[in-house]
Amino acid sequence: MNELGLGPNGAMLYCIEYLEENFDWLEKRLNDLGDEAYVAFDLPGQVELSTNHASLRRILERLQKRDWRLAAVHLLDASHITDASRYVSLLLLSLRAMLTLELPHINVLSKVDLLGDAAAQIGGLPFKLDFYTEVQDLDYLVDHLNSSMGPRRTARFAELNEKICGIIEEFGLVQFETLAVEDKRSMIRLQRILDKATGYVYIEHPDNKSTNESNGKITSQTGAEGDRSLAAYELNSGSRRGTAASAAALFSVADRGAPIGWGSGLDVHERWLDHREEWDEIQEKERFELQQRWQERQAQEAKESEAFEKELLNLKPIKERS
C-alpha cells in the first residue's frame, strides 16, 4: 500500500491481479499438496473480488480446467436480516456473486447463535427464520419495506423495492443456510451440503470397490454390504481423504435437496430465538452425560487392561507347563 499508494480495497485488487499473473506459482503450490488435498481459499471481505473484478473468476476457471472441484461458500452476518433493507442488500450481493463466479454456491447466514440478541433489540423478527433462508414470497417483504419507510419516502421508492424483489424472485437462485460455528450439528450440516456441492458424496472411494479377477472388471459394492464398508471407512478415517460414497450412497442423495434431519429454518429459529435457554440446558445436559459415559468407559478399559496384564504375569513359561 505504501509502495504503490493504494488504499485497502485497491491493494486487494492489486493482489488478486498479481496472483493471476503468477498463476504458475499457485498451481505448483497446489500440486505439491497431492491428489487428495482438500483446500479452502479464504478470501478477504472486499465484495469487489467476487462481484465486479474478473481476476478471481479467471483464476477459478483455470483451476476448474485442471480438474479442481470448486464450490463457493458465501458467509454473511445473520444480524443483517433484522433490517429489511439490509436483507435486500444481502440478496442482491449474493445473487451478483453467484452470477459472477458461476460455481456451486452456498450462501450462509453465519453467527446465527447471536441472532436472538440482535432481534431482541427490534422487538423480534417480523418473520420466521425460514422466510429469510428460503427467499420465497418476497411480496411480504415489499409490504414490510413500504410500511417501514419514513414520511418523506415516495411511491417511487415502493416501486423500486418491488422491482428489486421481483428480480431476485425471477432468478430464483438465492437461498441461505445457517451456521453457528460452535454448534456441532450446524457445522456437520453445512459440511454435508458442501460435500454434495463439490461432488464429494458421489465419488466412490477405492476401498469400496471389488475386482472380479475372472474378467478383470471392477464393480461397485452396493446394498447393505457397501453401506457398511462406507460407514467403516468414514468412521475410521481421521481426514477428508479421497472421496466418500459407494453407488448406494449416490442414489440415496441424488434426489435430495438438502440433508435430512435437524437444521431447517424453523429448527434454527426455535433453537436460537424462541427457546434458546431451554436448548442450552438440554445440550449442556447431553454434554455432561456424554463426558460421564466417556469417563466410565475409560475407567472400565483401564480395569480390563490391568486385569489382562496381571493374567499375563501369572502365566508360566511354556517349558515349566510341559
For residue 226, being part of any structural domain is answered with no
Q: State how far the Cα of 262 lies from the Cα of 279, in Å rounded to an integer.
A: 13
CATH number for 177? 3.40.50.300
Give residue-wise pLDDT tens across range 33-73.
988 888 999 998 888 899 989 999 999 999 999 999 999 99
Q: How many domains does the chain have?
A: 2
Do residues 283 and 178 share a domain?
no
Q: State how far the Cα of 75 lies from the Cα of 82, in Å rounded to an integer.
A: 16
**Could you list the residue range(s) of the whole structural domain that residue 143 is in?**
69-200
For residue 305, being part of any structural domain is answered with yes
For residue 246, being part of any structural domain is answered with no
Do residues 74 and 196 share a domain?
yes
Q: State how far the Cα of 71 lies from the Cα of 198, in Å rounded to an integer.
A: 6
For residue 244, being part of any structural domain is answered with no
Q: Is the pLDDT of residue 156 over 50?
A: yes
Q: State how far the Cα of 54 lies from the Cα of 71, in Å rounded to an integer.
A: 17
Give residue-wise pLDDT tens across range 69-125.
999 999 999 999 999 999 999 999 999 999 999 999 999 999 999 999 999 999 999
For residue 235, being part of any structural domain is answered with no
Q: State how far the Cα of 17 lies from the Cα of 23, in Å rounded to an integer.
A: 10
Do residues 189 and 299 share a domain?
no
Give residue-wise pLDDT tens across range 213-247.
444 433 333 333 334 444 444 444 444 544 444 44
Say what the pTM is.
0.74
For residue 25, being part of any structural domain is answered with no
Do residues 181 and 285 share a domain?
no
For residue 151, being part of any structural domain is answered with yes
Residue with cell 497446489: 30
Give residue-wise pLDDT tens across range 175-209.
999 999 988 889 999 999 999 898 887 655 555 54
Do residues 190 and 292 share a domain?
no
Domain boundary among 152, 168, 200: 200
